[in-house]
Amino acid sequence: MIRLLEELSMNAWPSLQTVLDDGWILRFANGHTRRANSVHPLYPPHQDVEAKILNCERLYGEKKLNVIFKMTQASQPDGLDDILAARGYRAEWPTSVQLLHMMDWPHVPMQGVTLCESLTDEWFAATCTLGGIDGRRQATLWQMLANIVPATCFASIGYAGEVIACGLGVQQNGFVGLFDIVTDRRFRRQGYGEALVRAILAWGRQQGAHAAYLQVMLDNDPALRLYEKLGFREVYRYWYRIK
């Protein structure tokens, strides 16, 4: 399940450049988000691990990016986390990956939520505003979103002529992933985030999804409570090793 969800999430949140290196997946996206700018050691390598780490450090260094490894309990080879720790890589940003089995989830669309299956200027502008994304990162994010191959749902909620909440759903192989769910600070704790998530889940069911997944940092208590309320349960955790 770990490798499956990791593969789905990489497809749902694509990098701009990818290097396949003997079982490890190296992703590059001008430094925008750790997920898209890190090494994903998903499969068992055949080459010397120390040499592989040095190669990663060289490649990310050439792009003036920090060397970051996205780690799970299934990272390969066994013992890689200890090897990285011994080389001075610190563990940061622990994150819960959660799953919702949704065979009985209603297909009925949520009132007041706008859904679009293609990227629009309005949705993108709102996401950048609510997420505090500016400058070069906007151009990178647009490219990343435009590069998504599976079915997409760009969801938003408007109030008094402005977008106050937005998020992304990506459906592939019966799983719908939720990404970048964000609500205007002025309107939090009023049910808009829940309405947005429910709308994306309903869209996913219409697309044939039987399960939903998401990633939430362990220090995000409001989001953890919301997802628990909706029935999501943790299936594994990941963390980053950064030097």
pLDDT digits 0-9 by tens, 136-145: 899 999 999 9
Residue 67 pLDDT > 70, yes or no? yes
| Residue environment code for 100-119, b if the CB has 16+ CB neighbours within 10 A, otherwise e | bebeebeeeebeebebeeee
160: nearest Cα among 130, 197, 187, 124: 187
d(CA 146, CA 37): 17
Quick one: pLDDT at residue 134?
Answer: 86
Helices of type H across 110-185: 121-131, 136-146
Domain spans in the chain, listed from the N-terminal domain onward: 2-95, 104-209
Place of tokens 């001008």: 30
CA 105 to chain centre: 22
| Residue environment code for 156-179, b if the CB has 16+ CB neighbours within 10 A, otherwise e | bbeeeeebbbbbbbbbbeebbbbb
Q: Hey, which CATH number is domain 104-209, 3.90.1150.10, 3.40.50.150, 3.40.630.30, 3.40.50.1360?
A: 3.40.630.30
Quick one: pLDDT at residue 108?
Answer: 63
Taking the CA atoms of 149, 37, 209 and 203 in sequence, report the sign of the dihedral they define: negative
pLDDT digits 0-9 by tens, 115-154: 999 999 999 999 999 999 988 899 999 999 999 999 999 9
Residue 107 pLDDT > 80, yes or no? no
